[in-house]
Amino acid sequence: MKIVFMGSAEFGFPALKLLFENHTVTGIVTTPPRPKGRGRAIGLSPVAEFAQARNFGPIYAPEDLHDLRFHRDLAACNADLFVVVAFRILPRSLFSLPPLGTINIHASLLPKYRGPAPIQRAIEAGETETGVTVFRIDEGIDTGMILLQKRTPIGPAETTPELYDRLGVLGAEALKEVLAHLDASTAVVMGQDHSASSRAPKLSREEAAINWYLPSKVIFNKIRAFKPFPGTYTLFGGERLGIEAAELPPSLALADPNTVKPGTIVRVRDSYFDVQCLDGSLRIIEVKPAGRRRMNVHDFLLGTPMREGMML
């Protein structure tokens, strides 16, 4: 099968590797070069770097997906199918080009968590299960007919980067099955229950500040969901203190929420400190002080005085 791959992020690497090894990739479409890193030097998308490292071409990086010359270039690829993983919203004139249409790998069990941040939003919401969905692209946002879904549990302390890697591999496995069905003309599609849909909007820096008046489990889920972006932070001594990792302490470590104000440091030990939340405390084990590296709490406390009763 001849395939054009469209994607921009590392999430698509397992799927693209599968296509390189088992099918004929006739083109790759990705996002244009953008400023990257602290120096803001212009850099290629991860997918473009992945393809160039394998001496693959042609690679297209259009600014405008409606550009007619770009459409002619894609038509010349003579692909049977377009495969999309973590890319932009496609116009009908584009996704309807190949004879077999265009399919997408989405990192949720649709119709739940439609949008650009399904992994983060699922962890933030405290979900215990997620998965991937391969579906046919239509003019909606993640609303098309489903070809296949694969499920997987979310670990109780699993973070976004960990789940991201697992779902990337699971997506490639699902894609392999779908392509076999399409090749054999045995694919079966299923409509989505739009009444059961939920959104997964893009994360913003404004969401990074921790509100200690929330339940400890809600804050814990936010910390593991918002890694690496936008991260989570609090203020300590008027300075920003990134909260990199936390744990839910045993019940014996909980302070009385009726007598202790949320944001109070209720316990300081060699390798952690506990902070009062709405319903109990949260144990902080890794931090990132402003302008410094990420570190465990033991190293942080060596150079930073912290006492029980202090406020965040």
pLDDT at 52 over 60: yes
Both structure tokens of 26:
């006739």
Both structure tokens of 268:
């300081």
Q: Name 244's Cβ contacts closer than 8 Å, sequence gap at least 6.
A: 223, 227, 231, 286, 287, 288, 294
Give the span between the Cα atoms of 101 and 94, in whole angstroms.
9
Q: How confident is the model at residue 41 (pLDDT cuts 50, 70, 90)?
A: confident
The one-letter amino acid code at 26 reads T
Mean pLDDT, range 171-182, rounded to an integer: 98
Q: How confident is the model at residue 256 (pLDDT cuts 50, 70, 90)?
A: low
Going by C-alpha positions, the residue among 99, 60, 279, 287 that lies closest to residue 183 is 99
What pLDDT sits at residue 249?
87
Q: Are 27 and 185 in contact (CB under 8 A)?
A: no
Give the span between the Cα atoms of 117 and 214, in whole angstroms.
22
Q: What percent of the chain has pLDDT over 90?
A: 91
What pLDDT sits at residue 56?
93
Give the span between the Cα atoms of 88 and 102, in whole angstroms.
13
What pLDDT sits at residue 74?
95
| Nearest-10 Cα torsion for 18, 20, 22, 24 | 140
pLDDT at 177 over 70: yes
Mean pLDDT, range 83-106, rounded to an integer: 96
3-state DSSP assignment of residue 149: strand
Q: How confident is the model at residue 42 (pLDDT cuts 50, 70, 90)?
A: confident
Q: How confident is the model at residue 34 (pLDDT cuts 50, 70, 90)?
A: confident
What pLDDT sits at residue 254?
54
Q: Name 54's Cβ contacts closer than 8 Å, sequence gap at least 6.
A: 20
pTM: 0.94
The one-letter amino acid code at 281 reads S
268-294 pLDDT, tens digit per residue, is 999 999 999 998 899 999 999 999 999
109-162 pLDDT, tens digit per residue, is 999 999 999 999 999 999 999 999 999 999 999 999 999 999 999 999 999 999
188-246 pLDDT, tens digit per residue, is 999 999 999 999 999 999 999 999 999 999 999 999 999 999 999 999 999 999 999 99
Q: How confident is the model at residue 257 (pLDDT cuts 50, 70, 90)?
A: low
DSSP state of 218: H
What pLDDT sits at residue 39?
65
pLDDT at 49 over 80: yes
Q: How confident is the model at residue 43 (pLDDT cuts 50, 70, 90)?
A: confident
Mean pLDDT, range 13-26, rounded to an integer: 96
Q: Which domains does the chain have, with CATH numbers?
A: 2-196 (3.40.50.170), 205-303 (3.10.25.10)
- The residue ranges of DSSP E strands in 20-95, in sequence order, are 24-29, 34-36, 41-43, 59-60, 81-85
Mean pLDDT of the chain: 94
Give the span between the Cα atoms of 312 and 288, in whole angstroms.
15
Mean pLDDT, range 252-259, rounded to an integer: 60
